[in-house]
Chains A and B, each alone.
Chain A
Amino acid sequence: MRLDMPASPAAAPALETRGLAKSLGGIPIARGIDFRLETGERRALIGPNGAGKTSFINLVTGHLAPSSGRIWVGGEDVTALPPEARVKRGIGRTFQINTLFAALSVLENVLLPLSERRGIAGRMFRAAAADAGLAEEGWALLERLGLAEDAARPVRELPYGRQRLVEIAIAIALRPKVLLLDEPAAGVPSAEAGIIIETIAGLPRDIAVLIVEHDMDLVFRVARRITVLVQGAVLVEGTPSEIAADPRVRAVYLGEAAAS
């Protein structure tokens, strides 16, 4: 039972976790993570390889079940909800490794989440194209992300950087309240990475964004605050300059560099 439950839902953070813990095969990958993301906030989550960043996202989306701890979205406890129900509460995500509808066109890749959001995806006997405004909304989204010229191409034929944009397009199509981006620009040539980051920076201000990213230059362009995760636990949280100056963070990263 929480004693400090916010008085009004408007004051509730977009996302909150308390004591979130998880072990896989006896190895702890989340160790009591307390995390708070305000409405419209832009936050970066950094940490060395294997720190548990992806696992944290999977815990929040429900792809992983926590051993203990609780998760709130907009003040509502979603710990017991399956992933699809959390999506309805406003959780959207992208994947570190492309998880797209590879054989389908770019347009179809965004029409699928749009249909889910509109609650029409279970309809069996009406042509999908009959739904008013669906295709238009999909098209407008692709234009916004500069993907319109590739709309009819199968996603698997796109260059990697464009595929990363489709990852984001699918998530945005859900109009999430909380958007979890798992290394959206990883492996993308720097020119294209810039486009991806500008896209993220230009998202509507009411979306709270958590971005996992290794490249500090990119992080600084999006996030005002940074959370550092090490071995499944939050090491420190602060502004970019605080993080850059923090000796513990330096130790972790220097240790990393020394070890590799």
Chain B
Amino acid sequence: MSAEAAPLTAAPSAAVAAILGRHRLRAVEALPWLCAGLGFFALPDYLALGSQILIMTLFAMSLDLVLGYAGIVTLGHAAFFGTGAYVAGILALHGWSEPISALAIAGAAAGLLGVATGLIVLRARGLALLMLTLVVAEMLQEAANKLGWLTGGTDGLQGITIAPLLGRFDFDLFGRTAYLYSLAVLLLAWWLVRRIVHSPFGHSLTGLRESAIRMRAIGAPVFRRRLRAYAVSAALAGIAGALLTQTTQFVGLQVLSFELSGTVLVMLVLGGIGRLYGAFIGAPLYMIAQDQLAKQDPVNWLFWIGLLLVLIVFFARGGILGLVDRILMAMGRRCA
């Protein structure tokens, strides 16, 4: 075909080259990691908060894969986070205290749950899908509440001990090991998700988000693709939950709560959905704002978060990253 193709009337433009080269690493993408590294040295008193930020970033990134890329709107992603958290906790309390293998098992368990529930909930669309994801998480929380012998019920799982990381690094009181461990896991997960979103599979997810009908009409196995995205996302969410268990040595019922599902959604929307880095903006911003506002205005801090969200939704569709994009574009136009 190319042999007999007419000579190009126009060379692919710079904009086309940019689309085709999006999988290449750019310098700005080092920014989150520089900040995280800097934080380790500059803010040694805040490493516990830092670990939680990294964990929530991972959780929000997992949500981005289904919500931002595949367009699967879920209000029950805590189901997978919580499953990972409980699996890690139960493993540790039953003598499986090696953290990395436990993390993998927790991720696999959450991924399997993603397949099992996805087979049902992903048959629905729109509001019905939203309700089903919510129901799954609620049912799990109720089950965790009832199965006190396994989950500790409302008391949660306490007295968890985790063996030293790689057999050498104790989970110390200052949270240094926990922080670096969380950072390493986040880095690996980011690398994986980044590969996925720039793969043909990742592109087909954006196609599903834009028009599932058209995807069927071009021969895509729509349900299988959605299910696979859901399972990968669930596994990553489970890993985030397991990290929380291992770094805080505690699991409570709130890891399966609707509140957590909602919070992670808010974080992602704040940062910007479907852009991979929304989680890296939204989760830290939310967590730091929560930490600071809760100190200064413990009664109303949720109001301020809510106000920020409303402003974002009305004035910055696409979240903070969307806003940054538009500012950069406006500046570029003025310079040109």
The reply to whether chain A is a binding partner of chain B is yes
Please list the residues of chain A having a beta carbon within 8 angstroms of any beta carbon in chain B. Answer: 61, 63, 83-85, 87-88, 93, 95, 99-105, 107-108, 111-113, 115-117, 120-129, 131, 133, 135-137, 139-140, 143-144, 148-149, 151-152, 170, 173-174
B219 with A129: CB separation less than 8 A: no
Write the nearest CB–CB distance from A107 to chain B, whole angstroms.
6
Cα distance, A83 to B214, chains bound together (Å): 11
| Residue numbers in B under 8 Å from A152 (CB-CB) | 13, 15-16, 18-19
Residues of A within 8 A of B210 (CB): 100-104
Q: Kindly identify which residue among A83, A131, A133, A149 contacts B200, using a CB–CB cutoff of 8 Å.
A: A131
- Residues in A with CB closer than 8 Å to B200 are 115, 120-123, 126, 128, 131
Q: Is the CB of A139 within 8 A of B206?
A: no
When C-beta atoms are compared, the residue in chain B nearest to A99 turns out to be B214
B10 touching A61, Cβ below 8 Å: no
A115 to B202, CA, bound (A): 12
A100 touches B196 (CB 8 A): no
Q: Are A129 and B211 in contact (CB under 8 A)?
A: no
Q: How far is the CA of A76 from the CA of B221 in the complex (A)?
A: 21
Selecting from B1-9, B86-94, B126-134, B264-272, the interface stretch reads: B1-9
Residue of B nearest to A85 (CB): B219
CB < 8 Å neighbour of A115 from B8, B23, B204, B214: B204
| A84 / chain B contacts, CB cutoff of 8 Å | 216, 219-222
Alpha-carbon gap, A88 to B222, bound state (A): 14
Please, could you name 30 A-B residue pairs with CB atoms under 8 Å apart, sorted by A?
A61-B217, A84-B220, A87-B218, A95-B217, A101-B207, A103-B210, A104-B207, A108-B203, A108-B206, A112-B218, A115-B204, A116-B218, A116-B219, A120-B200, A121-B200, A122-B221, A122-B225, A124-B195, A125-B195, A126-B199, A128-B23, A128-B199, A128-B200, A133-B2, A137-B1, A139-B8, A143-B6, A143-B10, A144-B6, A151-B15
Q: Report the nearest B residue to A110, measured CB to CB.
A: B218
Contact in complex: B219, A107 (CB < 8 Å):
no
- B143 interface residue, CB < 8 Å from A? no
- Closest-by-CB residue of B relative to A135 is B20
Chain A residues contacting B19 (CB-CB under 8 Å) are: 105, 107-108, 151-152
Interface of chain B, helix or strand or loop or mixed?
A: helix
In the bound complex, how far is the Cα of B204 from the Cα of A147, in angstroms?
Answer: 22
Q: B-side interface residues toward A, CB under 8 Å? A: 1-2, 5-6, 8-10, 12-13, 15-16, 18-23, 195-196, 198-204, 206-207, 210-211, 213-222, 225, 228
Q: Which residues of B contact A151 (CB under 8 A)?
A: 12-13, 15-16, 19
CB–CB A127/B9 < 8 A? no
In the complex, what residue of chain A is closest to B274 when comparing beta carbons? A103
- Assuming A129-B21, A129-B23, is B202 touching A124 (CB within 8 A)? yes
User: When the two chains form their complex, are residues B206 and A101 in contact, meaning their CB atoms are under 8 A apart?
Assistant: yes
Compute how far the CA of A235 lies from the CA of B128 in the bound complex, rounded to whole angstroms. Answer: 42
**In the assembled complex, which residues on chain B have CB atoms less than 8 Å from the CB atom of A148?**
9-10
Contact across chains for A125 and B219 when beta carbons are under 8 A apart: no
Pair A127/B217 contact, Cβ less than 8 Å? no
Known: A125-B199, A151-B16. A140 touches B220 (CB 8 A): no
Q: Bound complex: CA of A45 vs CA of B204, how far in Å?
A: 32
How many Å lie between the Cα of A220 and that of B138 in the bound state?
61
B2 partner residues in chain A, CB cutoff 8 A: 133, 136-137, 140
Q: With a CB–CB cut-off of 8 A, which chain B residues contact A126? A: 199-200
Q: How far is the CB of B61 from chain A (nearest CB, A)?
A: 16
Query: Given A124-B202, A127-B23, are A99 and B211 also a contact pair (CB < 8 Å)?
Result: yes
A101's closest neighbor in chain B, by CB? B210
Given A83-B216, A129-B21, A143-B9, verify A112-B203 contact (CB < 8 Å). Answer: yes
Q: Provide the bound-state CA to CA distance between A151 and B315, in Å.
A: 29
CA of A69 to CA of B19, assembled, Å: 46
Residues of A within 8 A of B217 (CB): 61, 63, 83, 87, 93, 95, 99
| Additional A-B contacts beyond A84-B221, A148-B10, A174-B219 (6; CB < 8 A) | A95-B214, A101-B207, A101-B210, A124-B201, A125-B199, A128-B202
A126 to B225, CA, bound (A): 16
- A149 CA to B9 CA, complexed, in Å: 10
Residues of B within 8 A of A63 (CB): 213, 216-217
The 4 closest A-B pairs by CB, nearest first: A87-B219, A152-B15, A101-B210, A127-B23
The answer to whether B206 touches A170, judged by C-beta atoms less than 8 angstroms apart, is no
Roughly how many angstroms separate A209 CA and B225 CA in the complex, as a whole number?
A: 30
Contacts of B202 in A (CB 8 A): 124, 128
Least Cβ distance of A157 to chain B in Å? Answer: 13
Q: Which of B10, B20, B219 has the most CB of A within 10 A?
A: B219
Q: Which residues of the other chain, A, contact B16 by a CB distance below 8 angstroms? A: 107, 139, 151-152
* Residues on B with beta carbons closer than 8 Å to the beta carbon of A103: 206, 210
- A112 pairs with B207, CB closer than 8 A: yes
Would A143 and B18 be within 8 Å (CB), given that A87-B217, A100-B210, A112-B218 are in contact?
no
Most buried by B among A61, A84, A173: A84
Q: How far is the CA of A137 from the CA of B310 in the complex (A)?
A: 44
A33 to chain B, nearest CB (A): 21
* Inter-chain contact B206/A104, CB cutoff 8 Å: yes
Chain B positions within 8 Å of A128 at CB level: 23, 198-200, 202-203
B219 touches A117 (CB 8 A): yes
Q: Give Cα distance in the complex from A126 to B16, angstroms.
A: 20
Measured in the bound complex, the distance between the Cα atoms of B283 and A250 in whole Å is 67
Task: Please name the residue on chain A nearest to B198 by beta carbon.
Answer: A127
